Amino acid sequence: MFICIYTHARCSMSCVLNTMSSHVSMFFEESDEEELFGAAKAHCLVAGFEDHACSTILVEYLPVLREKGAEYLQRRLIADRGKLASDYLDGPSLPPTAVLRDQVLHILLEMCDHILHPPYGKVAPSESDCLHYWVRIFSSLTNKITIQTGEKALEASKVVRRQQAAEYGEVSEAGRKVDCLFAFESIELSNVEFKLRGALDKEIAIQNRKNIRLGRALQEAHARHGASDVSVFMADVAVANGTVRNRVFSGFVGTFYQVCPMGDVHIAGCTTNSVVFLPHTPGSLELFLQSKSLAIICNYIARLEAQGPELVKAYDMHDHQQEINRHADGLSLGRPRIPQRHITTIRNNVVLSPSKRRNV
């Protein structure tokens, strides 16, 4: 199977069918391959990506928020989290159910603090403000993986650029900068890109295509170490700013998708039909408690946590096998050939050799 679209869907350095592009949708609506396009979109959807035990914990606090407000909810969360810690104070560690509840309570506390005391005040948040908010939520759920921010260079993109340089000539080998990089040990796993929604729609589309290219670069890096069929989970987050009733509002909205193989090609598509958002007002917090947003975020982090050790194992096995092969190749060559030594002479304080002259 081969798909190649020479319109807005074409991603240089990636060769990915982007099922999220409206231009691609228009292309398939006018072609005879609409069934194939639908199959590609369905292939990217992950069953159960909207289901998580955290949703049950969230709805417990919905009546509290409705009846008492965000400030009381914050105090209630502090009390409940303290009680949870005291219940297991003398135990060796928290059971998994208690760990999840503690994580959810911590996330809700972070959200209440952000809503009641926004760090950017009454002005519209910047991309960095949005990034820091998301990272606080992500870091509440991570255990094995690490998060790096601040225009970090993606090492996997350097490998692809070196491949381009070998094929096309003079191409920069500098790594592409990313906003929010997830890694396990030294293995890069995923990236989340942030963009101000006030930008042109064209720039939003460029951001999406850039992140898809980075996903393919990560896949190529994994393939070089023996993990050729790995799906890369990514996300794009938009900072939407506007004014309603003379009040500044902001939306922290994210789309989660994956870059995955499908037969002989690679495709990119949403892992779920739901859009993820983080609350910024008491009203949006009430919506958040009823939404699937946290469930999707939890499943996204869980996928990365599971991928890390699996990739380490694949990398180790591949590198060890390569070392065995190199050793076996050296033995099969037999005794190495020793080059013949050329006798040099000295004449007028100059050493003469077959290859060069140098003063002594």
Contact yes or no for 335/324 (Cβ under 8 A): no
Cα-Cα-Cα-Cα torsion 284, 290, 291, 297, nearest 10 degrees, comes to 90
Q: Are strands 232-244 and 187-196 parallel, antiparallel or unpaired?
A: parallel
pLDDT, residue 164, reads 52
State both tokens at 89: 């104070």
| Long-range contact set of residues 162-165: C-beta below 8 Å, sequence gap at least 24 | 163/220, 164/13
Q: Could you give the CA distance from residue 296 to residue 293 in angstroms, rounded to a whole number? A: 5
**φ, ψ of residue 281 in degrees (nearest 5):** -140, 165
Half-sphere exposure of 200 (CA within 13 A, CB side): 3
Place of tokens 């948040």: 125
Q: What pTM, to 2 d.p., does this model score?
A: 0.82
Residue type, 254: G
Burial 222-260 (b: 16+ CB within 10 A, else e): beebbbeebbbbbbbbbbbbeeeeeeeebbbbbbbbbbb
What letter does residue 192 receive in the DSSP assignment? E
Helix (H), strand (E) at residue 316:
helix 293-332
- Residue 249 neighbours by CB under 8 Å, 6+ apart: 241, 242, 243, 280, 281
Q: What is the DSSP string of 159-183?
A: HHHHHHHHHHSS---PPPEEEEEEE
Helix, strand, coil in percent for the chain, rounding step 5 = 50, 20, 30
* Separation in Å, CA 297 to CA 188, 201, 273, 288, 308: 18, 25, 14, 12, 17
Residue 8 has a pLDDT of 37
How far apart CA 68 and CA 59 sit, in angstroms, is 15
The length of the chain, given as a count of residues: 360
Domain chopping of the chain, boundaries: 16-317
Q: How far apart are CA 186 and CA 78, in angstroms?
A: 36
Question: Which pLDDT score is estimated for 319?
Answer: 86
Q: Which residues pair with 294 in a beta bridge?
A: none
Q: Which is nearest to 25 in space by CA: 205, 191, 195?
A: 205
| 3-state secondary structure (DSSP) of residue 338 | coil
Q: What is the pLDDT of residue 174?
A: 59
Low-confidence stretches of the chain (pLDDT < 70) are 1-15, 159-175, 197-201, 240-251, 330-360
